[in-house]
Amino acid sequence: MSTTALAPAPARLHRGILLAVALTALNLRTAVTGFSVLTGEAGDDLHFGPVVAGAIGTIVTACFAVAAFAAPPLARRFGLERTAALAVTATTAGILLRAAAWSPAVMIVATIIAFAGVGACNVILIPIVKQHFPQRLHAVSTMYMVLLQVGQLAAPLLALPLASAYGWRTAAGGWAVVTAAAAVLWFVTMPRPGARSEAAPPAPVSVSWRTPLVLGLIGLMAMTTLHVYTLVTWFPAMLSDAGLSATASALLLSWFAGLGLIAAFVVPPLTTRLANPFPIVVVCVALMGVGYAGMLAAPAAGAFVWATAFGLGVSTFPLCLTLIGARAANSQSASRLSGLVQGVGYGIGCVGPLALGAIHQAADGWNLTYALLAATLVVTLVAGRAACRPVAPAAG
């Protein structure tokens, strides 16, 4: 992989890369949660219904899957920073096009462009942090996971008042300002051709998917993605169908997203300290089970409790990302492992929003959806056990 030199970068450049990582992380989920609360208004304007809304949710995770496979070879060819610059530029273009969409087809194209960029960033931020901040790996990893959650929390809270004041298009497109700033930073800080060094062999680093570790990580990522993006796409609709107002539904989605802040602070350091962090998986599975049982029994009366259980239950996401970084021996193997786990994991998880939305429409209710999601928690347990078992770092 072509990378920047591993010698210490100038302090100014170092700070620029850190700020670029921060701004990119802040926007990894804003275009998801910030749009889910606008889907109804956008659908009314562009004349699309639940099937298209579910398709948009599925496209998001499908783009993450495809981009996860594409990002490592792109990074080998162009370098990590240049790939990040191109990815964030694509995200900015997609967000702006989605805000200007004049038909459902344009909305779908814009979603593909935006989330292809986000999907590439999902993968390459891990090796970028491992390469540039090896002595502060856990601190910087925690920072970008926290900022990811901050963006995920803030987006729906800001979307509704912005849409009320200026329309859904402004609310959907506003985040392009921040992604554009991140893109500029990546272009400024990426190494010039003469400054690049061959710090590692240009050949791909091989990571076998057949090992229990990689299979476990893939399964854990797949099940986490299935639950997270089904809930992000449909939780406001689930709550609205239970009788809650649009405002209350948006607030509970933000609460669900905001609880990831706790996980971002607690899970990465806890994961690295535990010889086997499988108890984290057990607690998360129990919380998710409580949430789905509650939505079956009393969706409106206990909505805050169920949203809390879901928000803490998806802490397997930072667990999985931390394990990818911790189990990889260097930035090259981290890039390869991250691409493989996220590519297959998001590919499996992407069926959730569309399939479960279709099941809801066919069954004329959410109960079957809740039962099916609860059943997949068994897979989470099995995969989590394999992913968390102590092993030697994956060097390729």
pLDDT for position 374: 94
Work out the pLDDT band at 353, boundaries 50, 70, 90: confident
Nearest residue to 129 (alpha-carbon basis) of 143, 115, 119, 114:
143
Work out the pLDDT band at 330, boundaries 50, 70, 90: low
Identify the DSSP state of 136. G
pLDDT in tens, 245-267: 878 887 888 788 778 888 888 88
The whole-chain average pLDDT of the chain stands at: 82
CA angle, 169 then 171 then 177, to 5° = 100
Task: Tally Cβ neighbours within 10 Å of residue 250.
Answer: 24
pLDDT for position 205: 43
pLDDT in tens, 211-253: 888 899 999 999 998 998 888 878 888 998 898 887 888 788 8
C-alpha–C-alpha distance, residues 245 and 362, integer Å: 24
- Residue 207 pLDDT > 70: no
pLDDT for position 217: 92
Work out the pLDDT band at 147, boundaries 50, 70, 90: confident
pLDDT for position 202: 38
> Which homologous superfamily is 7-388 in?
MFS general substrate transporter like domains (1.20.1250.20)
Q: Which residue has the higher pLDDT, 7 or 119?
A: 119
Percent residues over pLDDT 90 in the chain: 24
Taking each helix axis from N to C end, the angle separating 39-46 and 104-132, rounded to the nearest 10 degrees, works out to 140
- Residue 68 pLDDT > 60: yes
Tell me how far the alpha carbon of residue 46 is from its chain's centroid: 27
pLDDT in tens, 308-320: 999 999 999 889 9
Q: Where are the domains of the chain?
A: 7-388
pLDDT for position 273: 85
pLDDT for position 208: 65
- Residue 290 pLDDT > 90: yes
Percent residues over pLDDT 70 in the chain: 87
Q: Count of residues for the chain?
A: 396
pLDDT for position 200: 38
pLDDT for position 331: 62
**Once rounded to an integer, what is the mean pLDDT over residues 42-71?**
78
Nearest residue to 16 (alpha-carbon basis) of 199, 135, 190, 196:
190
pLDDT for position 89: 94
Do residues 153 and 261 make contact, with C-beta atoms less than 8 angstroms apart?
yes
- Residue 93 pLDDT > 60: yes
pLDDT for position 237: 85
pLDDT for position 10: 56
pLDDT for position 373: 94
Sign of the C-alpha dihedral computed for residues 98, 311, 117 and 351 taken in this order: negative
Instruction: Give the pTM.
Output: 0.73
Q: Quick one: tokens of 258? A: 């905001």
The Cα-based distances of 223 to 85, 229, 313, 373 in angstroms read 30, 10, 12, 9
